[in-house]
Structure 1
Amino acid sequence: MNKYLMTASAVALAPLAHADLLAGSHASLGLRNFYFSNDFRDQPGSAGQSKTEEWAQAFVLDFKSGYTNGPVGVGLDALGLMGVTLDSGSGRHRGSNMIPDDGNGAAGQWSRLGLTPKLKVANTELRYGTLMPKLPVLTYNDGRLLPQTFEGGQVTSTDIAGLTLTGGRLDRATSRGSSDRTGLAVAGGTRTSDQFLFAGGDYQLGKQLTLQYYFANLEDYYNQHFAGLTHTLQLPAGQSLKTELRYFRSLSDGANASAAGRASGYRVGGYTEGNDGEIDNHTWSAALTYAVQGHALMAGYQQVSGGSNFVQPNQGSLSGKGAAGASLYLHTDRMLASFNRAGERTAFAQYSYDFAAAGVPGLKFSLMYLKGDDIRTTSGRDASEWERDLGLDYVIQDGPLKGLGLAWRQGLLHSQIDPDQEQNRLIVSYSLALF
């Protein structure tokens, strides 16, 4: 814990005995049982075994305090995370994709604790400590047993009607499969940045239209602008048509903008103009979703410019910390691939059905297909890839097991760049309210 977090924690802890603060507090224990299997169909040998198969149990203690009375409310949140390996036998563990590697194979257990002091004035809140941002410029990853977390500060304000403003600074991340904190980077970078700045807002015009703009800077890697639009058109007979437009512009910053900086490790992986590792990218996408009586059909298109891959913070290329696992705010960021490579043009479609419309509440199904072409490669040959994902979820609605969630995820990837893969995830989850 750094000195700033310790100072903030002391400020927040002082009034913990205050009854007003505790009155608005609540805590829950989240349980997640996760079976993970990934068949790397054509990647045996030096890259590792051709299949990963692991089973683990997560415990997530989430405490959120209320606020003290007065013009400045003070509170403290705490997040305790622990993973326990149930099965990861010889030859079935690979790196730290889900379970951390302790140097001799899968770790038996791993844990971390995050404290987040907070202040509130009117409808503006300042949080400093462990954060899980969910923003267009940075989205935490929760695709394995434990979620990815970040360290830093964030301010959110809803004082202006219809407008949500967000800004902050982050300096560290802890991967979903690790207890170690790292600096920040992009995929392919081997040097860390100690500062990620972000600011932006969501403006809601009525109930149907939301406009977004965000700016982010990962020091020594990139500046990124994001503009987004979401519109929902209500049609007769319970039908709707949702339109989503997203545009990103990413440009090199600091060390990544210089040849010396890129040579020292501040570079992006994959194809770049001149093979120099410099970030220079436009990415735009459009998606339409038609919904009626439990059915939803989404179709869309995404295009990544040819200067470099699309980037957002990704610590996967930092050695020795098990830092792999990042999310991108793209429609195409799915189970096995993100379709974010230089030059890639992706068409995608998804069908989903909520069985509540057929009298079976809690049961949901989804099927998605993506096809990416024109991927630029360092060999000069354009490549392609496709992915198909299935999802089935059920949450028990009543009885002694009410709230118990069951989920199955199955993905298949065929790629001319990455190894072909078939992945299965079985997840059982339950949240127990403590108070």
Structure 2
Amino acid sequence: MERTTLPAAIILAGLSIGVNAEDAKPHGFIEDSQATVSNRTYYYSNDNRDGGLDQRETATALKFAFTSGFTQGTVGFGVDVASLVAVHLDGGKGHHPDANTFFPSDSDGSAAHSWSRVGGTLKARLSKTELGVGNIFTPNLPILVATDSRLVYQNFGGGILTSKEIDGLTLTAGKIDQSSGRATSNSTGLAIAGGTKDSNDFRFAGADWKATKDLTFQYYFARLENYYKQNYLGLVHVLPLGDEQSFKTDLRYFDSSSDGKNGDVGYRFNNNGGFAKTPGEVDNKTWSAMFTYSFGGHAILLGHESVSDDGGFVWLNQGNVVDGRNRPEGNGGTAFYLFTDAIVGNFSRAGEQTNFGQYSYDFTKLGIPGLKTSISYLRGDDIKDVAGGSDHKEWERDIRIDYIIPSGLLKGFGTTLRHGTYRSDGSALPDTDQTRLIFNYSYSFL
């Protein structure tokens, strides 16, 4: 990839949902505007324990974001704009694999010195319904989740409609046709893992119904043309137990099937390196259940996830090699709405049965506000390989420490340390130790 130092164009081809639509009466374009400058500095280390190429890099990114209010009148209009520049600080040749997900590569295979991105959203609001056309920076829908796990966020291009006209019911529909990955300033079409041809048509619609203040039901449908169709059902319930205690139930079910040319040359799914009843095609049902008991500053989480035998779980990304160009951000470049989307692994191959647990603690109860820690463990068994064998295993242990300065001159300055240890029987990813050290700071001046 050639070095990118300045944005080539303003990309008005994604979208953000905008400000809260629950307040149906607009206050004003300027009065409700907000401008924020934020910085993220990131150290990323990926230690391949099987002898492959290690990766160690440090970079920093500066982001400016402007979110307007809406003009007054029956229909209000607004605009959101965001721009960023990222600079590489360390780790050139020898520590920067050309096929990576952290920073673009220069023509000689080393890390580019810098790159940048700029984009925006045009939005309109009528009553409690909003339409946005432009960039969607951080979608968090069951069928579409942008990753923010590297130096910069991923975003998508298209349009989205969100309506909250009925109390307790949120309706969402949209279409996207491109994505800007987490390690590039370029936008591309859409695909799935293994895909080598773009699809420029991802459509979705869904509903979130808050039946009571403690119970929410979800249904979403999505279709990536020529790749897959996906139905999602979800339930979230929080049971208050009194005395700072609660019990949370989170149930998720995905049903994914082939669409159009899926399975043909160029539109094949690699089933995450595992078994497929019909090679190249999407055919999967995945359910998961998570239960969390919280008391005081403690939270204990236990869960199980089951991937069906016919093929791996599928989610939207940018493909691996499209039109002869490598897209390192493609395979796994988008996050997905499963509990097993861990630091290193994703536990999503055909037949995989994963048990997982997590313990976390908020140190506010000990007089240290802003400090939180967690440790989690995942173990997947009964994984079917490409030949149909089902005795493969993998596990991962993740540790996380977060601290945000709660007051004073550096109020809001945050530090995150994450470390993941992944091991398998050799049928999946290589054994890996991964460390991430992240510093974040944001300042709002409107």
- TM-score higher than 0.5 here? yes
The answer on 1:114 being equivalent to 2:128 is no
The 1-side partners of 2:9 and 2:366 are apart by 53
Give SS of 1:262's match: coil
Letter in 1 for 2:345: A
Give SS of 2:264's match: helix
Give SS of 1:77's match: strand
Bigger mean CA offset, 273-282 vs 297-306 = 273-282
2:102 — aligned with what?
A: 98
Give SS of 1:53's match: strand
Letter in 2 for 1:425: R
1:65 — aligned with what?
A: 68
The answer on 1:307 being equivalent to 2:318 is no
Q: Contact 2:60–2:88 (CA<8 Å) still a contact in 1?
A: yes
Given the alignment, which residue of 180, 197, 205 partners 1:199?
A: 205
Q: Contact 2:134–2:157 (CA<8 Å) still a contact in 1?
A: yes
TM normalised by structure 2 equals 0.90
The 2-side partners of 1:280 and 1:103 are apart by 39
The 2-side partners of 1:201 and 1:328 are apart by 18
Letter in 2 for 1:179: S
Q: Contact 2:320–2:327 (CA<8 Å) still a contact in 1?
A: no
The 2-side partners of 1:88 and 1:346 are apart by 35
Given the alignment, which residue of 256, 271, 274 partners 2:274?
A: 271
1:418 — aligned with what?
A: 429
The answer on 1:182 being equivalent to 2:185 is no
1:385 — aligned with what?
A: 394
Q: How does 1:109-188 map to 2 (within 5 A)?
A: 109-131=114-136, 132-188=138-194
1:254 — aligned with what?
A: 260
Bigger mean CA offset, 382-391 vs 88-97 = 88-97
2:361 — aligned with what?
A: 353
Alpha-carbon offset, residue 205 of structure 1:
1.4
Alpha-carbon offset, residue 97 of structure 1:
1.7
The 2-side partners of 1:240 and 1:111 are apart by 44
Q: Deviations over 1:259-304 (max 9, x none)?
A: xx52233434433434521100000001100000100000000000
2:241 — aligned with what?
A: 235
2:22 — aligned with what?
A: none
Alpha-carbon offset, residue 351 of structure 1:
0.3
The 1-side partners of 2:66 and 2:102 are apart by 25
Q: Contact 2:251–2:289 (CA<8 Å) still a contact in 1?
A: yes
1:38 — aligned with what?
A: 46
Alpha-carbon offset, residue 418 of structure 1:
0.9
Alpha-carbon offset, residue 34 of structure 1:
0.3
Letter in 1 for 2:259: D
Given the alignment, which residue of 369, 385, 399 partners 2:408?
A: 399
Q: How does 1:78-89 map to 2 (within 5 A)?
A: 78-89=81-92
The answer on 1:334 being equivalent to 2:338 is no
TM normalised by structure 1 equals 0.92
Unaligned 5+ segments in structure 1 are 9-18
Alpha-carbon offset, residue 20 of structure 1:
3.5
1:223 — aligned with what?
A: 229
Q: Contact 1:220–1:266 (CA<8 Å) still a contact in 2?
A: no
The 1-side partners of 2:165 and 2:173 are apart by 14
Pairwise CA RMSD of aligned residues? 1.9
The 2-side partners of 1:251 and 1:380 are apart by 20
Give SS of 2:326's match: coil
The 2-side partners of 1:238 and 1:83 are apart by 42
The 2-side partners of 1:409 and 1:20 are apart by 41
Task: Tell me the number of residue pairs that the alignment of Structure 1 and Structure 2 aligns.
Answer: 415
Q: Contact 1:175–1:322 (CA<8 Å) still a contact in 2?
A: no
The 1-side partners of 2:118 and 2:9 are apart by 13
Q: Contact 2:217–2:236 (CA<8 Å) still a contact in 1?
A: yes
CA separation of 1:253 and 1:238: change in aligned 2, threshold 3 A: same
1:282 — aligned with what?
A: 285
Alpha-carbon offset, residue 96 of structure 1:
3.0
The 2-side partners of 1:240 and 1:4 are apart by 44
The 1-side partners of 2:343 and 2:433 are apart by 10
1:213 — aligned with what?
A: 219
Letter in 2 for 1:431: S
Moved over 6 A (4+): 1-4
The 1-side partners of 2:186 and 2:326 are apart by 10
The 2-side partners of 1:134 and 1:196 are apart by 15
Q: Contact 2:63–2:82 (CA<8 Å) still a contact in 1?
A: yes
Q: Deviations over 1:337-393 (max 9, x none)?
A: 111111100000000000111111100000000000111111333311000000000
The 2-side partners of 1:159 and 1:165 are apart by 9
Alpha-carbon offset, residue 163 of structure 1:
0.4
The 1-side partners of 2:9 and 2:105 are apart by 26
CA separation of 1:163 and 1:286: change in aligned 2, threshold 3 A: same
The 2-side partners of 1:275 and 1:253 are apart by 13
